[in-house]
Structure 1
Amino acid sequence: MKWQIFTAQETEEWYKVLERFHSIDIYFLPEYHRAYELNGDGIAYAFVAQDEGNTWFYPFFVRSIQQVGSEVLDEPWYDIETVYGYSGPLSTTTDPAFLTKVQAVFSQWCQDNRIIAEFIRFNPLLQNHQYVDQSCRLIPNRETVVVSLKGSEQDLWANYPSVQRNMVNKAIKNGLVCAESSTPENLEAFRQMYEQTMNLLGAIPYYYFCESYFKYLWNNLTQAVKLFTVRYEEHIVTAGLFLQHGDFLHYHLAGSDVNYRSFAPNNLLLHTVAQWGQKNGFHWLHLGGGRTADPKDDLFRFKASLSRLYLPFYIGGRVHNAAVYEKLCVNWMRQQQFIQRPNYFLLYRLT
């Protein structure tokens, strides 16, 4: 078996490998990973393995483990996490023998590079959790909502649950107007609105993406990033950043003025994007899931009011150095004075 490692800066080599796969998503592109490097998520790599005409491709971030809790480590260790969103591995085959061989080679590479564990977010649209072997602990995390764009505009409207049709009509009667607004000026307005929304939600620091993150996405994935705004008398009341690639549209980030929530701006936003997606040949609008895995989660219930189509989102974990992994987790528990171990992978990273 032959294998290679690429960085996100080696875009030509990265894309040559992606050409071997029938269907990919934006979350597998080097530019998307580079944006998160700038956000401080780690160093992006793609591991490529080939054997007897089959190819396995896996993009991820390597992150250093410098301390656990308040204790600085005496020697460097690392772990792996996939990019924000939905990625994981791609493979030209689901043959168990091939996948087992790949995982053995990759695990050896991890051990050779002091990588103790990895955390994977899989892609619901590609269902690529089938491209790992039994050494990976697979967990169905939550349902995600998807809108089919394959039919006519009349089909789209007819397939909405009645509550969505009612809310779109309400938004229009309230005088709201939605349109694509992909300009640098509107991006900055969106960034500020998004930050205000995170403040209201009490979001953790990670979700406050840095300014260079937005600029890099905008300048380097120009055709893949679309901004839609909903306005009331020229005032932006809701805006959404959407990502596109291949057959897929993704609802990536959003911000709203809470003073206009009763006007149903988000319903109009997603209906307009779905119409735009149909006209531009996309097959699916992926809305994602809720903020939690709870089926009663408010965000999930809102998204589910737009479509009855759900796709499962899987996460996965694998330990490559059990002794060190366990040592770091026990260290964290001792510092936090935990007796019973929390059910959380990469436990030592909790703050």
Structure 2
Amino acid sequence: MTYDAILLVSFGGPEGPDDVLPFLRNVTRGRGIPDERLSAVAEHYQHFGGVSPMNDWCRRLLAAMREDFSAHGIGLPIYWGNRNWPPMLVDAVSDMHADGVRNAIAIATSAFGSYSSCAQYIEDIGAARAAIGEDAPNIEKVRHFFDHPRFIDSFADKLRTSLAEVAAGQKTRLVFTSHSIPNRMEDTSGPIGGRYSEQHRLASQLVAESAGWEDGWDLVWQSRSGPPTVPWLEPDINDHIADLAAQGYEHVVVCPIGFLSDHIEVLWDLDNEAKETAEKHGVGLTRVPTPDVDQHLVALLRELVLERTQGKPPRRLSGLPTCDPLVEGSCPARGYSSIRR
């Protein structure tokens, strides 16, 4: 197939105090979550002026992609659409249609596979195409990239730097963290059901090995939402920090393996809540930076495009089953959506 455009698809985020509640209503539409619950989450944004870093990150990422792709002979226009806040996905697809785009490659801003990070993107792309009509552009999402060498290199480089900043002689534990999901998403129905945790464990192992860390590590979870009666992946990072303190650890290095950028669930849940937990228990905490817009991430996205446009072989560091959106039913779809970005 010949492709004539690239579409960056992201979650979106408020860009001012008046945007916060409308944004959260968009994210949770149809789930029956009252404004009282949303207002509690909205307070996290108010600590940052009511602004999520997501849209600014996407703007910087777009600029870097356009420069890098052009320098490597990829002359395709790059569009940008969000699921929950302007620029909206349906408007981006409308612009593509008006510009005569027929076949596009979609890049979602998540490396891993779950309903919210994969299948829901595909559903929302389908809804945007349906709003345009029968002659809407064909849009195909790229694969998961949790085990791409450049993804691993990005985190490993930053982890090495963070580890070097920890005082010598401290009893230190490396902890990888990502967004929790309901346990029901971890069952084995479907071709890749239950792979979310496995993908994260593999990526964490690869990063630790690449960074030269040999003293053991843990994978924990954060940012759960919803009723407490619904079980989610555990342990929670705050509970785990308390347990490590009880075991005599003096320092925790937290690597947010599940996140590409410093959005609210990193800035608040890790840099605020987890840091407070560590201080409460007398444990030092170093948080490893996310990839943001580094050379590894931009080159990774370029390589994913070249897999489609030039048939380049996928570069992967594992044989772990992964989602191929071109194969019907390969992405598990169970309703869940985070309410912060």
Same fold (TM over 0.5): no
Q: Which structure shows the higher strand fraction?
A: 1
TM-score, normalised via structure 2 length: 0.26
Q: Which has the larger radius of gyration?
A: 1
